[in-house]
Amino acid sequence: MKKIASTLLSITAVLTLTISTLVAPAAPAVAANASGDPESDIAKMYRVKHELKFNMKGTSATLDGKAVHADKPILKDGRVFVPLRTLQESGAAASVTWDAKKQEARVVMKAQVSPSLQELSFRIGSDQVYLPGGEAAANEKIPKPFLANGRTYIPVKPLAWIGISPSLNQGTVTWNWSEKIIEVLTPSWETDGETAKFSMLYQEDMYTPQFLYSFGSGGWGGGTGKVTAKGIELDGRRYNRMEFTANLRPGINPLQLYAISAGTADFTVLRKVSEPDAISIKLTEEGQQYITINRPASGYVRAKSGAQISVEGTIVKPNDNFDQVTVTAEKYDPKPGGLGHGVYTTVNSNKLPIQDNKFSGAIQVDGPGYYLIIVSSPKYIPAPEHGPVSTAWAEFIVEVEG
């Protein structure tokens, strides 16, 4: 399971190193400084520790010091097995389900308990444990789960992989785990600036947090901050303060707070625009080499529902392989979820042919809301095993009024 954990951490590292700009909705008024950013911490991250104790005779059990019911565990071949119901009743699991056809129990932990690996499945008589995709964990063997007295019993050992630390001492089984919580105190605010500055507290024995911002439907990127204070005493815990600065798109910016030890929490920042003509279209580093955008004239366009937004540009670095650019409209439409969940939905796309090193056309926007318009290059970048691929060259925002 160490291999599983390291793979998950590697994926997370790649995600957090490949991130850039943002958008968000209007918010209730909050205390702000001259720039419009919050004066106080927008969130705090901390642990809530839990302990379940039950004896091997099944005669007593306590959860966080209070008496509770727990089914009797079974000692088999020197290994402790517990009924699935005990896991469910502990409050650590979000759900425990049984598939009679597969003879399989699926355990989904609360994200606050095990943010990196939330789900495992156990099959009766199998010495393997199964990952969310259904594949068996490589090079991992477990004592075989079994049925007894109408209950499903699983070994205690694999619980450590999903956030529970088990132990057995003089006939008493102890489970320790903690909920890692990011409590958002300011879920949204408005600013006139091109950047947002904000801070949060995190319990000093936890991993340092980051913030994430959405590229659009193509994924998320991340940013790090700096520690500005340590050893802050609050609610019986000791915290450090982390301060961040995020670049903002005009309009709405969806953001996330993230830590390996605590999962994610969403918030938004609305960058207000009083003079749309002063907002430039954003060109990526690649885009700056290859194109200029002539229309629209601004990087922030206000329009009515059903409007056709003109897009015109010039290729300033010609290439014989340049045949067309693609213009895509992605609507801000956040979906529930955890790390890197969807916040934009692609609603329209149009391919604009390149002729005499120029391209022109339009993209339609329907319905009120914020739209991220992305101009993507021709497919000219070599990619092993996939053929040439395109990249984003430019973007701008359209606000469709209700």
What does the angle CA 334 – CA 336 – CA 18 come to, to the nearest 5 degrees? 70
CB neighbour list of residue 366: distance below 8 Å, 6 or more residues apart? 305, 306, 347, 348, 400
Distances (CA, A) of 182 to 86, 185, 202, 203: 27, 9, 8, 10
| Residue 35 forms part of a structural domain | yes
pLDDT of residue 25: 36
Same domain, 125 and 158: yes
**Looking at the predicted structure, is the pLDDT value of residue 89 above 90?**
no
Torsion, Cα of 312, 313, 319, 323 (10° steps): -10
Main-chain dihedrals φ then ψ at residue 149, nearest 5 degrees: 55, 35
Paired tokens of 200: 């949060």
Using alpha carbons, select from 334, 324, 327, 379 the residue that is nearest to residue 355.
324
Domain CATH for 198 = 2.60.40
Same domain, 160 and 74: yes
Cα–Cα distance for residue pair 40/359, rounded to 1 Å = 48
Using alpha carbons, select from 319, 294, 337 the residue that is nearest to residue 390.
319
Kindly indicate the confidence band of residue 10, based on its pLDDT and cuts at 50, 70 and 90.
very low
Percent of the chain at pLDDT exceeding 70: 91
pLDDT of residue 32: 66
Of 35 and 175, the structure prediction assigns the larger pLDDT to 175
| Residue 14 forms part of a structural domain | yes
**Looking at the predicted structure, is the pLDDT value of residue 21 above 50?**
no
Q: How many domains does the chain have?
A: 3
Range with the largest mean pLDDT of 108-117, 157-166, 212-221, 281-290: 281-290
**Looking at the predicted structure, is the pLDDT value of residue 115 above 90?**
no
Of 286 and 28, the structure prediction assigns the larger pLDDT to 286
Of 295 and 8, the structure prediction assigns the larger pLDDT to 295
What does the angle CA 336 – CA 30 – CA 111 come to, to the nearest 5 degrees? 30
pLDDT of residue 8: 34
Kindly indicate the confidence band of residue 111, based on its pLDDT and cuts at 50, 70 and 90.
confident
Q: Which residues of 248-368 form beta strands (DSSP E)? A: 251-259, 263-271, 282-283, 291-295, 300-304, 307-315, 324-332, 344-353, 358-365
Pairing of strands 300-304, 392-401: parallel
Residue 328, domain extent? 276-401
Kindly indicate the confidence band of residue 71, based on its pLDDT and cuts at 50, 70 and 90.
confident
| Residue 302 forms part of a structural domain | yes
Q: What is the mean pLDDT of residues 279-304?
A: 96
Candidate from 55-59, 163-167, 214-218, 284-288 with smallest mean pLDDT: 214-218
**What's the mean per-residue pLDDT of the chain?**
88
Radius of gyration of the chain (CA): 26
Paired tokens of 146: 């079994």
CB neighbour list of residue 246: distance below 8 Å, 6 or more residues apart? 22, 195, 196, 198, 211, 213, 223, 253, 255, 269
**Looking at the predicted structure, is the pLDDT value of residue 229 above 90?**
yes
Of 19 and 349, the structure prediction assigns the larger pLDDT to 349
**Looking at the predicted structure, is the pLDDT value of residue 200 above 70?**
yes
Kindly indicate the confidence band of residue 158, based on its pLDDT and cuts at 50, 70 and 90.
confident
Candidate from 25-29, 106-110, 261-265, 306-310 with smallest mean pLDDT: 25-29
Cα–Cα distance for residue pair 143/159, rounded to 1 Å = 12
| Residue 227 forms part of a structural domain | yes
**Looking at the predicted structure, is the pLDDT value of residue 84 above 80?**
yes
Same domain, 151 and 101: yes
Q: What is the mean pLDDT of residues 22-43?
A: 63
Q: What is the mean pLDDT of residues 110-138?
A: 87
Same domain, 56 and 167: yes
pLDDT of residue 30: 52
Same domain, 243 and 335: no
**Looking at the predicted structure, is the pLDDT value of residue 11 above 50?**
no
pLDDT of residue 260: 83
Q: Which amino acid is at 358?
A: K
Cis omega (within 30 of 0) for bond into 132 = no
Cα–Cα distance for residue pair 389/108, rounded to 1 Å = 37
**Looking at the predicted structure, is the pLDDT value of residue 289 above 90?**
yes
Q: What is the mean pLDDT of residues 256-283?
A: 92
Of 162, 179, 196, the position where a domain reaches its end is: 179
| Residue 174 forms part of a structural domain | yes
Paired tokens of 79: 């290994």
Same domain, 38 and 83: no
Of 5 and 137, the structure prediction assigns the larger pLDDT to 137
Q: What is the mean pLDDT of residues 291-297?
A: 96
Of 129, 149, 179, the position where a domain reaches its end is: 179
Same domain, 61 and 173: yes
Kindly indicate the confidence band of residue 31, based on its pLDDT and cuts at 50, 70 and 90.
low
pLDDT of residue 384: 82
Domain CATH for 377 = 2.60.40.10
Cα–Cα distance for residue pair 121/131, rounded to 1 Å = 7
CB neighbour list of residue 170: distance below 8 Å, 6 or more residues apart? none
Q: What is the mean pLDDT of residues 270-289?
A: 95
Percent of the chain at pLDDT exceeding 90: 66
